[in-house]
Amino acid sequence: MTLPPAPSCGPTWFDDLDTVPPTRPAPHPLQHRTALAAWRHVAAEPVLAQRYLHLPHPHSPGDLAVFSLVGASAYWTGWEAQAGVPPVWDRPAAYTPTPFAGYGAAGLCDPATAAITIRLGLEQAAAWDAPALVLPHLPAHITANAPASDADLHVNTAYSAVVHPDGVAGVLAALGNRRTARGFGRELRRAGETGLHLETFEGAALTAARDEFAGLAGQVDERHGTAKFGPDVIRALLRTPGALLLGARHGDRLVGAFLCFRFGDTLYASTTGLDYTRLRDLHTYTWLMAATFDYAARTGAARIDFGRSNHTVKQRWELDRTELHTLVYLTDPGDARTRAALARMAQGLHNPPAATPSSSH
């Protein structure tokens, strides 16, 4: 990989997030400064070191690219398991910002800026003695700006939809597969007959519901054999600006919820919690999807981002798809062992040995 030299002035490194000058809005709510600060203390993705690169622009406040040395990432190990390969890294790797932090990354808005960002990030990764710089969960319009990588891993698909002004009724009416639309309609009628109702948690109510939701998110983790959403992760997520909980209440019990973020004109349905003992008879997941369509329409959102995974259900809703790739740049281009391991991982992700469901929404 050949990159242009870093400019003598312009991009500036900071060691303290609080001292970084104002920047443009982050590309994802989990890359907001408050979320990044909260994330430094979670066990599922221990951040051993972090530095902040301010990238100025002539006619705007500039961007903030965050580089993290991560001891082990539950997302990365999940991809290894999905690919059926042993651990790739023999020591902590560097990420920008971290695999948990949504998708997209600052500093990649055009090829020239991306080249500088990745060059400086690689220098920092080498200074940390990391084997690689990893750019997780990038959509195609971002990867197109990046220089050629040492590995390109197709890791997931994200799903989204334009908000219909009539909420879920409009969505069902527009579905091309009428049999699917009728099936969803039957599930929603049955869910309504059980007495499910929506409870929205914000502010102090959101904090009060934290432990109840963490228990439901833990059930999703346990169901899928992952360890992504422990109580510390939920606490960090709830500190993200715009956080709210769309809860399915049955009697006095919360039986499911979507942890969401309102960020700009988009409602992000980020993380799911479910009571699996009642999932089938209450049709909780379908009901929560419908409640999210209605809530977004009622509150003036323009788009809903339904996150990653749960592919079969989201495809039945005929949501828009965005393929997500993770780019890997080796700090030592001659590291043949890691290069070969990444090639096996890429092949395994392309042809996984067995379906491995994810707990992320």
Residues 270, 340, single domain; the answer is no
Q: Any idea what the CATH number is for the domain that residue 280 is in? A: 3.40.630.30
Instruction: Spell out the residues 6+ positions from residue 354 whose beta carbon is closer than 8 angstroms to its own.
Output: 84
What is the rounded CA–CA span in Å between residue 222 and residue 262? Answer: 28
Residues 125, 248, single domain; the answer is no
Residues 94, 215, single domain; the answer is no
Q: In which domain, by residue range, is 105 found?
A: 12-155+323-350
| Residue 333, in any domain of the structure | yes
Residues 266, 294, single domain; the answer is yes
Nearest CA among 55, 64, 39 for reference residue 113 = 55
The pLDDT of residue 353 is 53
Q: Does residue 96 contact residue 65 with C-beta atoms inside 8 Å?
A: yes
Instruction: Spell out the residues 6+ positions from residue 127 whose beta carbon is closer than 8 angstroms to its own.
Output: none
Residues 341, 246, single domain; the answer is no
Q: β-pairing, 253-263 with 266-274?
A: antiparallel
The pLDDT of residue 105 is 81
User: Residue 338: which H helix or E strand, with range?
Assistant: helix 336-350
Nearest CA among 221, 252, 253 for reference residue 234 = 221
Taking the model in full, what pTM does it have? 0.90
| Residue 311, in any domain of the structure | no
Residues 142, 168, single domain; the answer is no
Residues 143, 181, single domain; the answer is no
What is the rounded CA–CA span in Å between residue 205 and residue 235? Answer: 14
Point out which residues pair with 330 in neighbouring strands.
132
Domain count, the chain: 2
Q: Does residue 298 contact residue 290 with C-beta atoms inside 8 Å?
A: no
Look-up of token digits 């398991």 = 81
Residues 53, 83, single domain; the answer is yes
Residues 119, 250, single domain; the answer is no
The pLDDT of residue 6 is 41
pLDDT (tens digit, 0 to 9) for every residue of the chain, 361 residues total? 544 444 434 899 999 999 999 998 888 988 888 888 888 878 888 899 999 999 998 877 889 999 999 998 888 998 999 999 999 999 999 999 888 777 878 899 899 999 999 999 999 999 999 999 999 999 999 999 999 999 999 999 999 999 999 999 999 999 999 999 999 999 999 999 999 999 999 999 999 999 999 999 999 888 877 777 888 888 888 889 999 999 999 999 999 999 999 999 999 998 999 999 999 999 999 999 999 999 999 999 999 999 987 889 999 999 999 999 999 999 999 999 999 999 999 999 987 554 433 444 5
What is the rounded CA–CA span in Å between residue 123 and residue 133? Answer: 9
| Residue 306, in any domain of the structure | no
Q: Does residue 264 contact residue 104 with C-beta atoms inside 8 Å?
A: no
Residues 150, 171, single domain; the answer is no
Tokens matching residue 58: 């002539």
User: Residue 13: which H helix or E strand, with range?
Assistant: strand 12-14
Residues 290, 344, single domain; the answer is no
